[in-house]
A and B are shown apart, each in its own frame.
Chain A
Amino acid sequence: MNHDYSGIFSNYAGLEGDLIPILQQVQLKFGYISTQSTKEISKFLKISENQIYGVASFYSQFRFTKPGRHSIKICMGTACHVKGGQILSEAIERELDVIAGESTKDGRFDFHRVACLGCCALAPVVQINDDIYSQMTVIKLQEILGKYE
C-alpha cells in the first residue's frame, strides 16, 4: 500500500484548486482513487477526505474500485439499446456477479455501461479492452468472456 505520492504532489503548490488535477494524476498512476489515496491527498491539501470524496464522486471520470485485469464496456446508446444492450448488461451482471461501475471479486473484469461507442451500425456492441465485438448475443458474449483470463 505504500505507493509513492510525492512524485505527483511535487508538481503542485498544495492549493485547493489542485484537487482535480491531482485526482486525475492519482487515477492515472494507480488506476483508481483508493482510501489510501484520499488520505494522502487530504494530508497534502489539508482538505478533509469527506470533501475530496464529495468532489471526486461528482465526476464520472473517477472510480473508487480497483480496475479489473480486463475492462468490459457495454454500449447503452440508442441503437444498442434498441437491439438489446440491456439484455447483455443483465447477462454480464448475472454471469460475473458484478454491478455496473465495479469490478468482479476475483479482479478479472471491471464492467461499465457506456453511452455510445460510435459504431451504431454494428449494434449491439460490446468492447473488451481494445477489442470491439459487434452484433452480440448473450451466447456469443459468454463464449468471448472465456478468452480473457
Chain B
Amino acid sequence: MNPQNNKLNITIDNKLYAVKKGSTILNAAQENNIYIPTLCAHKDLTPYGGCRMCIVEVEGARNFLTACTTPVEEGMIIRTHTDQIQKERKEILELVLSEHTSSCLICDEKEACRNSMTTIRKAGVTTGCRYCPNDDKCELEEVVSWLKIDEINHPVFYRGIQVEKNDPFYDRDYNLCIYCGRCVRMCQEVRMANVLAFTQRGRFTVIGPAFGRTHVEAGCEFCGACVEVCPTGSLAEKYNKWDGVAEGEILSTCGLCGVGCQIRIQVKSGKVIGVLPAEDKLVNNGQLCVKGRFSVNELVNHYQRLKKPQKTVGKAILDINWDEAIEIAADKLKDCPPDEFAMIVSPNCTNEDLYIAQKFVRSVMSSNNIDTTARLYYDSGLNDYLNLMKKSSALSDMKNSSAILCLGIDLRYGRSVVGVEIRKALTREAKLITINPNEHSLSLNADYWLKPNPGEVTDYLKTLLKLLNNESQGIKDENLNAISQILKNSENPILIVGSEFLNYPESPEIFQQINQIADKIGAGILSLPAQNNLYGSLLMGAYPELVAGGTANKNPSSTENNTWNTYKISSGKRLKVAYIVGETEPTSKKIADFVIYQNIYPVEQKELVDLSLPAAAFTETDGTFINGEGRIQFVNKAIEPPGVSLPDWKIICKIAQKMGAKDFDFSNVAEIQKEISQNSPRFKNLDKLKRKPQPLPEGITLQANQKQDPRDKKTTASYNLYKKEHVYRGIPLTDKVEGLKKLIAEE
C-alpha cells in the first residue's frame, strides 16, 4: 500500500482503504459503501456536526469524533459501529425523539399502517402520525430503524407549536423538527435568501423568520429548497402530501419562462405529482423558482383541462371525436382564402409544434398570416428587445463577471434561480447595481439601487451613457458617477433585463440605451424572456416576416401589399377562419367567422370559438425549447395527455393530411427535427448536442409596432391578457395555481 500523491491510507472497521486527501471521514466511508448514519449532513451543504449521529471512534482521539466534520489523516484507524458508539447514538437519538411527536417511529402497527399512512385510527391522535407526508422520505425513520430503537426511555416533551399552514405551497410543523439546520443552511448558504434562521434558544428554539412573520412577509422566494432537504415531515409540500412515492422521474425542461431550468418531473399513476430541480451545471444548478417547483403539477393536473374535442352548436357545446373534429376543421380551412386566414400561435409551444404550425400556414394555406402573442407582449419595444437577445451571454458567464447591472427585474418569484447566481457572484466580490422603481429581491444586496420614477428611466440611462463616454462635465450625481466607474473598470460585465420596463411607453428607447451601454462596456446581456420559447418561435419562423431557419421572408404579405400580424386582429380585414394554437381568445369579440381553438384549457367565453381541440402541455409531449440564452433544450414526455388530447404538431398534421397535404406524415418529433435541420443546421445531431448557447442571429428582425399611448384604452385594452408575465399558453398561472394567487398580484 504505497501512499499515492493525492490519496491517504486509512482503516475503517479493520479494512484498509485508500481515500482522497481532504475528504471527511464521512465522505471516505460513503465512497466505499460504508454506512454511517447522518441526519444533518447533506451533499449540497457544508458540514455541520449538529446531529451527532455520525460519531465514530478514531484511535488516539480523546472522544468520539463526528465523521462529517473530521478530515481524514494518514494512518487513521476508524471504527464506525462499535457497541459503545451504537449505545451513544441510541441515547442521543432517544433524546432527539423525546422532543419529536414520534410515536409512529416506534409504533407496533407501523408496518400495517405504512400503506395507508393517513389513517389516524391505528395510533393515538396526539402522536401526530397524520402530519407527515407519505412520501417515504423520512430519514429519521431510517436511522431509528437502523439503530433498532423501539422505545424511548425519556419523558416526552411535546412542544405544542402551532402548525404553520398560512403560506402557500408547503406546510410547516416544527413539532417534528429535529434542528438539523438543513433548511436554514439551504436558505442561507445555497439560496442566500436568508429567510430562515434559528430564533430564540435552548428548548424554545424555533426555525423561522424574524418576529414570527409569515414566509410571504419575510421575503421568501418559495423555491422549495428547504422542503427538499428536510429529513423529517416538518416541511411538507401541500399538493402532493398524500400522493405517496413517485414511480419514476423524467428529466425535462421547464416551460414556464425563458430561463429553461432542467427539471425532474415526478410521476405516479400517469400523473405529475411534483417537480424537483435537476443537477444541471449550465442553467439552474439544482435550483428552481416557485413556478417550476410548485406550479407545474397544479397546472397540468387541473380538473378544468380540456380533454375532448368540442364543437359549438348555437349555444350548446358538444363533445365530438377526433375524426369529426378534424373533418370540420379541414372543411372550413379548405375554402378559406389565404388572406382571410390567420394563425395565432403561442411562444410556449415546442420548436417542433411551431415549425409544423408555420409549415401548415405556408404550404397548406399558402398564407403568411402566422404570428405569436409575443408581438403584443413586447409591443413597440419588440424589435429593440430582440436586439438585446442578439448580445445574449450564458447564465454561467456570471461566474467570471465582476459587475452585474440589473434593469427592471425582480427575481423573487419568477427566475429566482438567476438571483441565486447573482448572490453567488456577490460572494466573489462582484458589484451589483439594480435599477428598479420598486423594492425587489435584490434591493438589500445591491451596492447601488437606483429608483427612477416611471418616466425617468431614460434620463438615468442617458446620463449613465454620457458618463461612460467620459462626457461627465456638469454631472454631479454621485451614484451614477460611482456606477459608471464600476462598469468601466469591470471584467465581463453582465446586464440582466427584466420585464418591468416593457409596460413603459418609452420601452424602445430604454432597450436601445441598454444596448448602447452593453456595447460601450463590452457587456453580455441576459434578457431571459417571459415566454419560454420566444427564441424558438423566431428561429422556426412563426411570424409573417420570418421563415423557418429565422431568415427574412422576402414576401411577407399574403396577397395584398399589407402584412398581417396580431395587431390587426380587431382592426384589419375580417377573417374567415382563425386558428389559435396554444393561446386564449385574444379579444372579447369573435375574431373570425369560424374560430378553431387549440389549447390545454377550454376557452372562457364559449361563444368566441366554434371548434375546440384539446392539446398537450409541455409535460405531455416530446420536443425542444430554446431558452433565452439561445440553448437548445430537450422536453421529454412524462405522462400521457389527459383524455384524448394530443400534442399540437400532431393535431396540425392530422388537419393538414385531411386537407390532402403530403408532407405531414410525421410519426415522431425526431422526424420533424430532421426536417428542421435542413433550415437550421443547429438541429443536426441533436442527440450529441452540447447545448451551447448562441445569441439570436443578427438577421432576425420583426416589424416594430407603432408606439402606442398606453392611455389610449381602445387599442390596448383588448390585449391586456397578453401583457401578463406569468402565463403559460395564454393562461395566467395565477388562475390555475392557487398558491401563486397569494404571491403574485398581476394586474
A35 contacts partner chain B, Cβ-Cβ < 8 Å: yes
Of the listed stretches B120-128, B198-206, B236-244, B591-599, chain A binds B198-206
Asked if residues B444 and A53 are in contact (CB atoms below 8 Å), the reply is no
Asked if residues A38 and B445 are in contact (CB atoms below 8 Å), the reply is no
Residue of B nearest to A64 (CB): B211
Asked if residues B211 and A53 are in contact (CB atoms below 8 Å), the reply is yes
Give Cα distance in the complex from A58 to B410, angstroms. 32
Q: Is the interface of B mostly helix, strand, loop or mixed?
A: loop
Residue of B nearest to A49 (CB): B210
Of the listed stretches A39-47, A77-85, A88-96, chain B binds A39-47
Residue of A nearest to B447 (CB): A46
B209 contacts partner chain A, Cβ-Cβ < 8 Å: yes
Asked if residues A48 and B211 are in contact (CB atoms below 8 Å), the reply is no
Known: A50-B210, A50-B218. A42 touches B444 (CB 8 A): yes
B219 contacts partner chain A, Cβ-Cβ < 8 Å: yes
In B189-230, which residues have CB < 8 Å from any A CB?
A: 193-201, 208-211, 218-219
Asked if residues B209 and A50 are in contact (CB atoms below 8 Å), the reply is yes
Asked if residues B445 and A50 are in contact (CB atoms below 8 Å), the reply is no
Q: Which residues of B contact A50 (CB under 8 A)?
A: 194-197, 208-210, 218-219
In B441-460, which residues have CB < 8 Å from any A CB?
A: 444-445
Residue of A nearest to B192 (CB): A48
Q: Which residues of B contact A51 (CB under 8 A)?
A: 188, 194, 197
Q: Is the interface of A mostly helix, strand, loop or mixed?
A: helix
Number of interface residues of B (CB under 8 A): 18
Residue of A nearest to B184 (CB): A54
Q: Which of A38, A42, A53, A58 contacts B201 (CB 8 A)?
A: A58
Asked if residues B194 and A57 are in contact (CB atoms below 8 Å), the reply is no
Give Cα distance in the complex from A42 to B209, angstroms. 13
Asked if residues B199 and A54 are in contact (CB atoms below 8 Å), the reply is yes
Asked if residues B199 and A53 are in contact (CB atoms below 8 Å), the reply is yes
Known: A53-B209, A53-B210, A64-B211. A48 touches B444 (CB 8 A): yes
Give Cα distance in the complex from A52 to B193, angstroms. 13
In the assembled complex, how far is the CB of residue A99 from the closest CB belonging to chain B, in whole angstroms?
13
Interface mask (A127-144 → B, CB under 8 Å = 1, otherwise 0):
000000000000000000
Give Cα distance in the complex from A46 to B208, angstroms. 19
Give Cα distance in the complex from A89 to B503, angstroms. 61
Residue of B nearest to A35 (CB): B211
Q: Which residues of B contact A54 (CB under 8 A)?
A: 197-199, 210
Q: Which residues of B contact A38 (CB under 8 A)?
A: 210-211
17 contacts between A and B (CB under 8 A): A35-B210, A35-B211, A38-B210, A38-B211, A42-B444, A46-B444, A48-B193, A48-B197, A49-B210, A49-B218, A50-B195, A50-B196, A50-B197, A50-B218, A52-B210, A53-B197, A54-B199
The 5 closest A-B pairs by CB, nearest first: A54-B197, A53-B210, A48-B194, A50-B209, A49-B210
